[in-house]
Amino acid sequence: MVKIAPSILSLNPLTMLDGIRQAEEGGADLFHVDVIDGVFAPNISFGPSLVRALYKETTVPMDVHMMITNPMRYLETFCGAGAKMISVHLETLDKWSCAHYVRMAKELGFEAGVAIKPYTKIPAWLREFYGDLSYIVPMSVEPGFSGQSFLSDTLGKIQALNDDRRLGKYNFLIEADGGVNSSNVKLLMSRGVDVLVTGSAVFDAPNIKEAIRELKKLAEHQA
């Protein structure tokens, strides 16, 4: 079953709760929370206080995408604030810090993901962690903003991850993030995607509930 993860970066911060309620009614499976520090990526967004506040408002699990240069420093804080899933960027990791990361995830009890910028190649060492990771996020836009166009170059990486997963019998999920909309959902599903992050395609739609239901229907029809 596909999971739809609306990205709250697309919402007006002053009326965010309204969008969140509509997304819940539409059947959001996760809320994708983009944490951006203005250094790793060119925008500044949310911190742990928002995650903590949302945790009190919704039972939908939060998937926190850390687009920050030193994610290790904040894992405990975001996890304590209520993040169930946390992804950190491959570009901030090496083999040793990745080992530390998956250990921290086990200790703190969150699902560990690794996000990858569109033009970053996956290094051989990452495969050693495929058994420990809950999900991998091959990004299809440059990190920073909602509303960018889907980069189809990412499809090859998604396919390669799906092949590696099948061959190695791994359980990690593949999460698509960036420019996901009704025109590419079927393609993404056919390449093995399990989680669809979607910001502008649902939150800028005239009817948020309908937009989520429609995406899910399209995705499930393909799967």
Confirm or reject binding of residue 34 to Zn ion (CB under 5 A).
yes
Residue closest to 30 by CA, chosen among 199, 163, 189, 191: 199
Please tell me which residue in 29, 63, 177, 194 is annotated as part of the active site. Answer: 177
Alpha helices in the chain (DSSP H): 16-26, 48-57, 75-81, 95-108, 154-168, 185-190, 200-203, 208-222
Q: Is the Cβ of residue 39 or residue 128 nearer to Zn ion in the bound state?
A: 39
- CA 155/CA 139 separation, integer angstroms: 10
| Site residues, ligand DX5 (CB under 6 A) | 7, 9-10, 32, 34, 65, 141, 143-148, 177-180, 197-201
Partner whose footprint covers residue 193, from Zn ion, ligand DX5, none (CB < 5 to 8 Å by kind): none
Q: Considering the complex, what minimum distance in angstroms separates the CB of residue 124 from Zn ion?
A: 25
Terminal CA-CA length for the chain: 8
Q: Rg of the Cα trace of the chain?
A: 16
Partner whose footprint covers residue 144, from ligand DX5, Zn ion, none (CB < 5 to 8 Å by kind): ligand DX5
Partner whose footprint covers residue 9, from ligand DX5, Zn ion, none (CB < 5 to 8 Å by kind): ligand DX5
Is 193 within 8 Å of 174 (Cβ atoms)? yes
Is 151 within 8 Å of 140 (Cβ atoms)? yes
Q: Considering the complex, what minimum distance in angstroms separates the CB of residue 109 from ligand DX5?
A: 24
Partner whose footprint covers residue 200, from Zn ion, ligand DX5, none (CB < 5 to 8 Å by kind): ligand DX5
Q: Is the Cβ of residue 99 or residue 209 nearer to ligand DX5 in the bound state?
A: 209
Residue closest to 37 by CA, chosen among 66, 75, 76, 64: 66
Confirm or reject binding of residue 175 to Zn ion (CB under 5 A).
no
Is 34 among the catalytic positions? yes
| Residues lying near Zn ion in the complex (CB under 5 A) | 34, 65, 177
Catalytically active residues, by annotation: 34, 177
